[in-house]
Structure formats: C-alpha cells, structure tokens
Structure 1
Amino acid sequence: MEQQAWILRSILTQLESQEAVDEGAPNCIAGEFARLKNQSTKYRIDKVFSTKTAEKQENIKKNRYKDIVPFDHTRVKLTLTTSKKDSDYINASYIKGVSGSRAYIATQGPLPHTLVDFLRMIWEYNINVIVMSCREFEMGKKKCEVYWPQNQQDTFVCEAFTVHCDSEESKGDYLTRTLRLTYRNCSRTLKQLHYVNWPDHGVPDTIPPILDMLHEMRCYQAHDDIPICIHCRSEALLVPGNVTHCLLSKDFFF
C-alpha cells in the first residue's frame, strides 16, 4: 500500500505540474492530447497497423464509428458460439497492464445488434468487473445499449443469456451494481461500476471520485489473471492521456 500511495502521489504531482503549464507549451496536457491525436491519425492514414478484420463487410456494421476499430494484433477474438450466425469479431482491444499481461479489455458500448457479442465476451473471458464510463443517453442520443435490467424485479434477456441486477448502490458520481449473468443454467456474479457523471466529449473535473471507483474496482479484483472490461460509447475514448486510462494503466491499485 505504501508503494501504491507513492505512485499515486507521483502521478497527481505530474498532472498538477502539467495543468499549470501554459496551453501553448509542448509538455502541457493539451499538447499531449494533440500529439496523441496526430499519432492516431498517422497510424490510420499510413496503415501502420492492420485493421482488416474490422473492415470486413460483415463486421463494418458492428462498429459504432467506421474510423474507430481495433487493430488485428490487439483485437479480442471470440470463440464461444451461441448460434450459427456468431463470428469471432467484436470491437474490443486488449490493453496491457504494468506487468505486460492482458490486464484490460477496452470495448465500445454495445449496439442493439452486438449485445449478444458483448455478453459472449463477458462470459468467455470470465469477466468479474465491468467499468462503464458513459451514460446510456448523452446530448439526447443513445450512446450505449443497456445490458442489465432497469429494475431489480425484472430480467434482461438476450438470446441465450439472462441478466439479473441483484443490487444497485449510488456512490455519488458512480453506481455499483451486482449483476448475475446466466448462460445454459450456469450463473456467475460480476460487479459493474458505472461512472454516470462522465461528460460527453470530455473528462471529469475532479479526480477523487475516479480514484474511489478504481479503489473499489481493485477491492473486487486485485489481480490481472483475467481482464477487467472497460467501456464507454467507443473504445477510442480509453486512450493514454484520458484520466481513467492513465490511472488504470499505472496499475497503482494492484
């Protein structure tokens, strides 16, 4: 815990110093975002990394945005099939942890026709924790399909999967839900941490609620044996420089 606290203080000190720098300076936070955007654009234009699977005709409709797709070498592959129409594609990518393991899966918020793929992934990779950093609706538009029942008395059904919400607790800026996922008469319990105050096209103004959520996340899963699933409306928002991914990738709650 002492080492984790030291890493956390170092990160916060670095962020504070970057925020204090003039926006025109190359080492400010805005500058980091600009460099990241330019690098991403260059990768896409120059096709530095292949995205052939995501660009297949049968997979294009599974991407929320046509220009936000996983690289072939980091994409998550699905092998669990629930019907003949299932394929191995989902718009999701692995993110390495500090130890080099596949500690996280970053994915887009499910679309109506990719809900079953999302649940297939959750089941196949034995996900214990889901971090959701968006609202279902933002700026009057649906950003993510709901994959859990809105009332604890109800059941959410998606083909071969059923989901129950056994509990929901408000923590201020985020909600903690206990979900029960059932497939072929076998049930598993997982936690969903839903950060409801994440602004559209932005990041939260304060860090403490995020740290509280991440601390709770690590209380539920303190190892990288299986990945933690993270999603907003699009996996592209989960990039270095984004506060949440910065903190997650440092693994200082491990």
Structure 2
Amino acid sequence: SVPISCNASLAVGLSAENKNKNRYKNISAYDHSRVQLVADSSKGQGDYINASFIQGYHKKETFIASQGPSKVILGDFVRLLWEQKSDIVVMLTNLVEQGKQKCEQYWPETTDLELGEIIVKLLSSQVLSDCVIRKLQLIKNQATHTVTQYHFTTWPDKSVPSTPWALVDFQQRVFSQPTNKPIVIHCSAGVGRTGTFIALRNVIKEAEDTGHMDFYTTLCKLRQDRINMIQTVEQFIFLHEAAQVAIACLGTTIASGDLSQKIDELEEKTASGHSKMEK
C-alpha cells in the first residue's frame, strides 16, 4: 500500500499564523520541501505558502506543486511566481466546479489586477478546445516578468478527463516551451490533478531514458515531497492510460510490468473502508 503521507513534519503550515493559508484543513506543505517566500514583517508578509518543490525525472526539471490560491493568499501566489521567476504556470482546475469555489482568479480580464505589490496585466488569451493559454505580465517597482499560463479546462475534481488524448496533447504543448525555472502547477488542493500531471511527465521522461515506466515508485517519490499526491485509484489508472497514449505518440514500446496487479492491490479496501491508495 502507499501511505498518503510520509510522516514528515507539517509544523510550519499547521501553525496558528499559517493554517488559514491552507485551502483545505487536511492538505498543507511539508516543512522539508515547502517553497519559502521572502518574508517581510514590516509588510505583514510571511514565508509560508502551501506549495512544494517536486523534482522532475531529470534534475534540470523542477516543479512546484501548489494549491489554487484562496482570497487570503492571492498576493502570496503572485509573489511565488515573481520570486521563483517562473515562466510557466499550469492550471488544472476551473475557478468554480459543482457550485464550489476551487480557485480565486489571479489574472485580469480587462483592467489590470493589483495584488499586493504586484500588478498583473493580461497580454493575450488564446481559447482552444480543452485549454486556454494566457500571457501574463507581472509588474513590480517598474520591473516586469512575463508568465505563460496554460489552463486545462476539462478535468473534473477528484476524477479524470474523459479521454487521455486531450491531456497528453496539453502536456506536450506545455513542455514545448523551454524554461530553466521551476514550473508552477496547481489545481485546487494541489495534490490530485497536480500529482497526476507531474507523474505523467516523470514517467514519460523515464520511458525515454530507460524504456520502462515505474508508476508505483513514481507515486511513492511524489508522496515523499507532498501529501496525498494522486488522490484516487481512478487517477492512478488514468495516469497509466495517458502514459501509454503519450508513448504511442513518441513511437516507443513500454513494458508496464505488473501494473494491473498493483491496481488490484491499491483498490483493495482496508478495514476502515478506504482503499490502500486513499488510506
């Protein structure tokens, strides 16, 4: 079974001063892998944000898995983009899903948006069938930084897209943009859809490198750096399907090993009624 957490310390994120910055009570960032913002007590700015560094398969690729910003941390979220000089932000949730606010809007439609010390300007917006690509400009003290936001719009919360093709195409679009900065990826909690997206990238790079994909080890590694990455068995199965589609597009054959056996094991219910994936 795969524990949802690795028993690492969550002390900073669960502290009295920071717990209101977590969108969900049961999801916060581990101390050892959390992204630390530049603190400035004179402006009431702390160093905590519910976001974690996640290593890509290759050392040159780094991800930041983040929760979708709540009203409380809108300013902190754009500080994250500014301080990390991220060129790419990947959004895997819609702002509202099933009548619930899943993420606050951190970009403007028309008038520039002022979030703390940073002004966000929308330079362009391209609407495609499964995604929207926005060019954002961040402005602080007359300095500027441009970020491309890739917003995938057809992935239901705690579920999976209707077909893997759209996500594979979307991911190829994202990674066709070169960057040497951390890529910020968020959904609502920053674990289910975000974890699945990062895992897909990592197993594809592993396949290119070794000719094999180790889904189970990939999942375990993700959960060492952020709690509950890939939330459901359904998402784990979808990861496998999407990886096979991606590899077929790349023209590589892959030995997927004992995946079906692993899925059977993970779907087994424990005494608590949860599957081994969710316990």
* Letter paired with 1:132: M
Deviation at 1:138, TM superposition (A): 0.5
Is 1:116 aligned to residue 75 of structure 2?
yes
Native 8 Å contact 2:54 2:64 kept in 1: yes
The aligned runs of 1:164-179 (5 Å cut-off) are: 164-179=121-136
Q: Which residue matches 1:40? A: 4
The aligned runs of 1:151-190 (5 Å cut-off) are: 151=110, 154-190=111-147
Structure 2 gaps, min length 5: 210-279
* Letter paired with 1:141: K
| Secondary structure, counterpart of 2:154 in structure 1 | coil
Q: Give the one of 184, 194, 204 matched to 1:229.
A: 184
Q: Give the one of 72, 75, 86 matched to 2:31.
A: 72
Judging changes above 3 Å, is the alpha-carbon distance between structure 1 residues 80 and 126 closer, same or farther for their aligned structure 2 residues?
A: farther
Query: Over the residues paired in the alignment, what is the CA RMSD in angstroms?
Result: 2.1
Is 1:128 aligned to residue 90 of structure 2?
no
CA offsets 1:189-231 (integer angstroms, 9 cap, x no match) = 110000111112211121222122211212222x5x3110000
Q: Which residue matches 1:105? A: 64
CA distance in 1, matches of 2:82, 2:167: 26
* Letter paired with 2:202: S
CA offsets 1:38-72 (integer angstroms, 9 cap, x no match) = x116x4xxxx2111111110000000111111111
Structure 1 gaps, min length 5: 1-34
| Secondary structure, counterpart of 1:116 in structure 2 | helix
User: Which stretches of structure 1, 4 residues or longer, exceed 6 Å deviation after superposition?
Assistant: none
Native 8 Å contact 1:179 1:191 kept in 2: yes
* Letter paired with 1:120: R
CA distance in 1, matches of 2:45, 2:61: 24
| Secondary structure, counterpart of 2:79 in structure 1 | helix
CA offsets 1:86-138 (integer angstroms, 9 cap, x no match) = 01100000111112456100000001010111111100000100000000000
| Secondary structure, counterpart of 2:64 in structure 1 | strand
Judging changes above 3 Å, is the alpha-carbon distance between structure 1 residues 161 and 63 closer, same or farther for their aligned structure 2 residues?
A: same
| Secondary structure, counterpart of 2:13 in structure 1 | coil
Q: Which residue matches 1:55? A: 14
How many residues align? The count is 207
> How many percent of aligned residue pairs carry the same amino acid?
33
